[in-house]
Homo-oligomer: A and B are copies of this chain.
Amino acid sequence: MPVKIVHDNYGKSRVRLMKVERHGDHHELQNINVKIALEGDFDSIHIDGDNAQCLPTDTMKNTVYALAAQTDKIEEIECFGLRLARHFLANNPQVSRVSINIIEHKYTRIPVGGEPHEHSFTKSGGEKRTTSVLATREGESVESGLEDLTVIKTTKSGFAGFMKDKYTFLPEVDDRIFCTSVKANWRYSNCESATEELWNSVRQTILETFATHDSLSVQHTLYAMGEAVLSKHADVSEIAFSLPNIHCLPVDVTRFGEEEKHAIFLPTEEPHGLIEARLSR
């Protein structure tokens, strides 16, 4: 029977790399996780078992280490992703599209006697810096992002005036806890704009807007955060958010004979709301 391949890709996931940049008086550290996927003319691999056009995924892994070793300095992940993507396109005529995803774990220097230590670090929690690079023979695109930035505000958040049907029992509230774990990705008008400085500024804009917004819904705050990022950063052309609503349910303590003081909550991730949007100029 004639079966066609509608789409295919292959590559290597979870390639871990730690790079150290050694100066006389201090060290720099980068800990990343790389995912590579290639698209191209791979029909004969699938159909005939002919691997002549198949660059092994083990080679892709080695390429990560080799290209990382070519520079002494630690590069921003967007820049490293682009170098990887260009390498695979340049050396593989059978490849038409390269996708590189990198997750970077953030570190902070350990304070010793009030000063940041020169070669010792703590991992700054679960929060990650991410990039997604796509490259074809026609062009390139770069997105930067962050993941697992858990934030919470204990007031200035409500949810009321919503639609009701026969299955609606949710009470309207004008003061609830708002907890989410921010995932955001943004696109640049110009790839060169992807720097740590800009990343920090986008992150700080998201945090400040979350902190100070009078939230009428998760959507409302999502939009405010996106609008603030786009307003302040001319180089960012688009931003997408994925925000779980990590519900903090009020516990009715009056049944235990205690006075209700809006103080005791049960946080839960199962189930959770999930609010997603992509904003542009």
Which A residues fall within an 8 A CB radius of B? 1-22, 27, 29, 31, 35, 37, 42, 45-47, 49-59, 61-63, 65-66, 68-70, 72, 91-92, 107, 110-113, 117, 119-127, 149-156, 159-170, 177, 204, 207-208, 210-212, 215-220, 222-223, 226-227, 230-231, 238, 244-245, 248, 251, 253, 255-259, 261-281
Would you call B120 and A66 a contact (CB within 8 A)? no
Selected from B9, B125, B253, the residue in CB contact (under 8 A) with A123 is B125
Chain B contacts for A52, CB-based, 8 A? 161-163
With A11-B273, A46-B220 given, name 8 new contacts (CB 8 A).
A6-B277, A19-B265, A35-B274, A58-B168, A66-B258, A112-B208, A117-B211, A121-B151
Choose among A6, A46, A117 the residue with the greatest number of B CB atoms under 10 Å from its CB. Answer: A46
Give the distance in Å from the alpha carbon of A244 to the alpha carbon of B10 in the complex: 10
Would you call B253 and A69 a contact (CB within 8 A)? yes
Would you call B280 and A4 a contact (CB within 8 A)? yes
Dominant secondary structure at the A interface: mixed
Give the distance in Å from the alpha carbon of A166 to the alpha carbon of B67 in the complex: 12
**Can you list 25 contacts pairing A with B, beta carbon distance less than 8 Å?**
A3-B226, A7-B277, A8-B276, A10-B274, A12-B274, A17-B266, A18-B177, A29-B152, A31-B267, A45-B217, A45-B219, A46-B219, A51-B161, A52-B162, A53-B163, A55-B162, A56-B170, A57-B273, A66-B257, A69-B259, A110-B210, A117-B212, A120-B210, A121-B151, A121-B154
Give the distance in Å from the alpha carbon of A31 to the alpha carbon of B122 in the complex: 22
Chain B contacts for A50, CB-based, 8 A? 161, 216
Selected from B55, B122, B153, B207, the residue in CB contact (under 8 A) with A207 is B122
Give the distance in Å from the alpha carbon of A172 to the alpha carbon of B37 in the complex: 22
Distance from A175 Cβ to chain B, minimum over Cβ atoms (Å): 10
Closest to A37 in B: B274
Assuming the A-B contacts A211-B110, A271-B61, are A47 and B223 also in contact, with contact meaning beta carbons closer than 8 angstroms in the complex?
yes
Closest to A123 in B: B150
Selected from B91, B127, B207, B227, the residue in CB contact (under 8 A) with A125 is B127
Give the distance in Å from the alpha carbon of A219 to the alpha carbon of B45 in the complex: 6
Chain B contacts for A7, CB-based, 8 A? 277-278
Would you call A16 and B267 a contact (CB within 8 A)? yes
Per CB-CB distance, the 5 closest pairs between chain A and chain B, nearest first, are A125-B125, A49-B216, A120-B211, A8-B277, A66-B256
Closest to A105 in B: B150
Distance from A105 Cβ to chain B, minimum over Cβ atoms (Å): 9
